[in-house]
């Protein structure tokens, strides 16, 4: 089988590898679509503490079950499925506190930029969902990033229906969290600097504001009758934007760090706002199996809406080009089809 093996910064090679052997409680998946995530791009260009080369990247994927282990009766070869790239253990302190996304003992798959992928038993038990007939392999790759978005929304700790939420950054994650908010009866506003991205968000039916042309502070003042937003979700990896977000949020509201920042980043925040105004600063990372199932439900209720996010398709052999195209912002969401 062919795999795209990440060998270090700016190095990735397509290699012939053996199809993985599976044991009695595992599944072999034939990958059909794998989407490229910001994390993959970051890893390719800058390295990542979680991915030590050589390894195979890719964690947003769907496919066809090729083989099942002897002990598995719930799934059959030929079934179309979406699969979580990791799953929580269910037993650690964090899992017991319903924080499966930060489980201390997750089980992982290796990486989906490969023709076949072995699915370990823990993920077989809780992380595989059969696709209904309307769901394409491509749109199913969005279940994972949408699950992360649903975790982000849940971390806001209030019902988002009819709330005023500003999403800063109209990249794939900003768009996805905005679509999820819309499905939950909240009309978010995306602020973004790129003309093209603003147009794209508008075509998805999302309210937008150009941060190049409009003063965000003034906009928020008008939009909320001087009250401020209920929440500002920062879907950009720029510390200053997080600091700025406090200017737009109301008393008792929340600022959420939705995009990962480098480990040594430092923020300058006025503690007055957090103490006297009770503004929460929250973060979110990854998803639990519950978010994954909820994300599948949400996508299967409007696959045609989510499908619009996928703008470019590639073959595995072009993987380097995909990374460069995303880096140069030529692409919103790219998938590799097998
Ligand atoms: Zn991802
Ligand atoms: Zn756990």
Hey, where are the domains in the chain?
2-142+309-337, 149-283
Ligand 1 centre distance from Cα of residue 10 (Å): 19
Ligand 1 centre distance from Cα of residue 246 (Å): 27
Ligand 1 centre distance from Cα of residue 161 (Å): 26
167-179 confidence digits (pLDDT tens): 999 999 999 999 9
Assign domain 149-283 one CATH number from 3.30.450.20, 3.30.2130.30, 3.30.1360.10, 3.40.50.720: 3.40.50.720
pLDDT of residue 49: 86
- Could you say which ligand is closest to the alpha carbon of residue 99? 2
- Residue 235, pLDDT > 90, answer yes
- Could you say which ligand is closest to the alpha carbon of residue 105? 2
- Could you say which ligand is closest to the alpha carbon of residue 173? 1
- Could you say which ligand is closest to the alpha carbon of residue 126? 2
**Average pLDDT of 6-21?**
97
Assign domain 2-142+309-337 one CATH number from 3.20.20.140, 3.30.565.10, 3.90.180.10, 3.40.50.720: 3.90.180.10
- Could you say which ligand is closest to the alpha carbon of residue 34? 1
3-state SS string for the chain: CEEEEEEECCEEEEEECCCCCCCCCCEEEEEEEEECCHHHHHHHHHCECCECCCEECCCEEEEEEEEECCCCCCCCCCCEEEECCEECCCCCHHHHCCCHHHCCCCEECCCCCECEEEECHHHHHHCEEECCCCCCHHHHCCHHHHHHHHHHHHHCCCCCCCCCEEEECCCHHHHHHHHHHHHCCCCCEEEECCHHHHHHHHHCCCEEEECCCCCHHHHHHHHCCCCCEEEEEECCCCHHHHHHHCCCEEEEEEEEECCCCCCCCCCCCCHHHHHCCCCEEEECCCCCHHHHHHHHHHHHHCHHHHHCCEEEEECHHHHHHHHHHHHCCCCCEEEEEC
Its pTM stands at 0.97
37-94 confidence digits (pLDDT tens): 999 999 999 999 889 999 999 999 999 999 999 999 999 999 999 999 999 999 999 9
- Residue 263, pLDDT > 90, answer no
Ligand 1 centre distance from Cα of residue 67 (Å): 26
Ligand 1 centre distance from Cα of residue 143 (Å): 10
């Amino acid at each position: 089988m062919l795999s795209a093996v990440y060998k270090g910064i700016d190095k990735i090679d397509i290699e012939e590898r053996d199809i993985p052997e599976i044991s009695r409680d595992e599944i072999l998946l034939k990958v059909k679509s794998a989407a490229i995530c910001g994390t993959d791009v970051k890893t390719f260009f800058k390295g990542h503490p979680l991915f030590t080369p050589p390894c195979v990247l890719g964690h947003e994927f769907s496919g066809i079950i090729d083989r099942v282990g002897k002990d598995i009766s719930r799934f059959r070869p030929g079934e179309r499925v979406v699969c979580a790239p990791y799953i929580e253990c269910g037993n650690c302190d964090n899992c017991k506190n319903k924080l499966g996304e930060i489980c201390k003992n997750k089980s992982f798959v290796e990486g989906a930029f490969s023709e076949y992928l072995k699915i370990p038993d823990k993920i077989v038990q809780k992380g595989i969902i059969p696709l209904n007939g309307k769901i394409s392999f491509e749109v199913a790759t969005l279940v994972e990033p949408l699950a992360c978005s649903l975790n982000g929304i849940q971390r806001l700790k209030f019902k988002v229906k009819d709330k005023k939420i500003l999403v800063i950054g109209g990249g794939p994650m900003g768009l996805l969290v905005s679509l999820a908010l819309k499905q939950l009866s909240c009309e978010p506003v995306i602020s973004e600097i790129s003309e093209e991205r603003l147009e794209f968000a508008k075509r998805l039916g999302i309210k937008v504001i150009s941060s190049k042309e409009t003063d965000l502070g003034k906009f928020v003042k008008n939009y909320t009758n001087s009250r401020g937003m209920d929440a500002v979700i920062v879907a950009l990896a720029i510390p200053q934007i997080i600091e700025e977000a406090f200017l737009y949020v109301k008393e008792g509201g929340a600022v959420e760090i939705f995009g990962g920042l480098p480990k040594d980043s430092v923020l300058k925040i006025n503690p007055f706002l957090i103490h006297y105004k009770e503004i929460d600063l929250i973060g979110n990372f990854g998803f639990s199996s519950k978010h994954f199932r909820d994300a599948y439900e949400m996508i299967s209720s409007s696959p045609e809406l989510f499908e619009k996010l996928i703008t470019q398709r590639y073959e595995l052999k072009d993987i380097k080009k995909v990374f460069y195209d995303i880096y140069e912002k030529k692409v919103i969401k790219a998938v590799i089809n097998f």
